[in-house]
Amino acid sequence: MAPAAARPTTTDLFSRLSFRRAVSPSHFRLPSTPAPAPRLQAATATIVALHKRNPKRLKYDSQRQFTRGDGGMLRVKVEPSGEDFWKLDPIVDLINRGAVGVIPTDTVYSIVCDLSNNDSIERLRRIKGIVNSKPLSILCRSLRDIDTYTTGFPLGTNQGQANIFRAVKRVLPGPYTFILPATKELPKQCIKHGSSTRYAKRRQVGVRIPDDSICQAILQNLEEPLICTSVKYLSEDEWILDPVTIADIYEPQGLDFIVDGGVRIADPSTVVDMAGSYPTIIRQGKGPKLDWMVAEDQDAQSTYSYKAA
């Protein structure tokens, strides 16, 4: 670890994250046989192989910056404030190479992968154990990404239609998932249905811009948004909030990495359906109901069944 006096500024740290993209696809599981010890370099972290131990007793040593689990999963512990986000360099590199892993958001933890990597999306579905017909969300870097992959928010008209775009700008980044009509830029695998040759008609997708320092540090150093789905127990419809527990459960499923940003609170994003006449809340979560949103009737069916964010 670099001395405190030489620690770079926030702007410098962002610029130092790697933008390398691997030329050839590879297996992202780290080898089970010991690799040669890496050379120590200034401003890089030492990667230490853990001796076999009971995963239930796994603790993160404050002296270690990166550790490898017995199964090859990369684990990175980062301060919730994101002040040491220079540690995320290997995570950005793995995502660019097609890895599937877990990162924190401003609500709960999410399983993520590269938006354009079809194989990674298939692996994400298998790891999470979700059916092909279930839609996936995207974590966006900015409103520009939302404009690229969806038709965007209503701008309002002279006939009295509200300017929703202006209202949304006040709450993003924030703990909201907005359901919007998708454009052709959205990969078909996000809404895949059936076999590899059958797809549901591209209609809607959930979009998020999380207000989380760690998540933003990762997103801002990628070339496109991330596919995401929330982390839950494999047999229960309940979020997993402790990153150590997530590692215990999902490492055997084939997870490539996990970013430990501390234990979260069971408070998912508020899901707002923008496809109807009014912005309708179909799941109340961390984001408060605002005056331009309406609450869905509990007995009514939403136009978009959505729980993934």
Q: What is the full DSSP assignment across 183-213? A: -TTS-GGGGB-SSTT-BPPP-EEEEE----H
How do residues 230-276 score in pLDDT, each as one tens digit? 999 988 889 999 999 999 999 999 999 999 999 999 899 999 999 88
Establish if 135 belongs to a structural domain. Answer: yes
SS3 228: strand
Task: For residue 194, tell me if it sits in a domain.
Answer: yes
The first and second tokens of residue 18, run together, are 């790697």
Considering the domain boundaries, does residue 256 fall inside one?
A: yes
User: Going by C-beta distance under 8 Å and a sequence separation of 6 or more, which residues neighbour residue 162?
Assistant: 154, 156, 292
Please check whether residue 163 is in contact with residue 154, taking contact to mean a CB–CB distance below 8 angstroms. yes
Task: Flag whether 21 is in a domain.
Answer: no
141, 223 Cβ separation under 8 angstroms: no
The pLDDT value given to residue 308: 40
Whether 249 is covered by a domain: the verdict is: yes
Name residue, tokens 């995963």.
Answer: 55
Q: What span, in angstroms and rounded, lies between the C-alpha atoms of 299 and 31? A: 52
Asked if residue 286 is part of any domain, the answer here is: yes
In terms of C-beta distances under 8 Å and separation of at least 24 residues, what long-range contacts does 193-196 make, across chains too? 193/132, 193/133, 194/132, 194/133
The closest of 68, 64, 55, 70 to 94, measured between CA atoms, is 68
Both structure tokens of 102: 């877990």
Q: Flag residues of the chain having pLDDT under 50.
A: 1-11, 13-26, 29-33, 35-66, 69-70, 193-200, 298-309
Residue 251 CA to residue 290 CA, distance in Å, equals 39
* CA atoms within 13 Å, Cβ hemisphere of 199: 13
Chain segment 1-25, per-residue pLDDT in tens:
444 444 444 445 444 444 333 333 4
Give CA torsion, residues 229, 234, 237, 238, to 10 deg: -80
Q: Give the total residue count for the chain.
A: 309
Residue 41 belongs to some domain of the structure = no
Containing structural domain, residue 267: 66-295
Q: Output the pTM of the full model.
A: 0.73
Token output for 87: 């540690």
CATH number at residue 267: 3.90.870.10
Report the number of distinct structural domains present in the chain: 1
Q: Is residue 95 part of a domain?
A: yes
Phi, psi at 65, each rounded to 5°? -100, -35
pLDDT at position 7 is 47
Are the C-beta atoms of residues 218 and 104 closer than 8 Å to each other?
no
Task: Provide Rg for the chain, Cα atoms.
Answer: 20
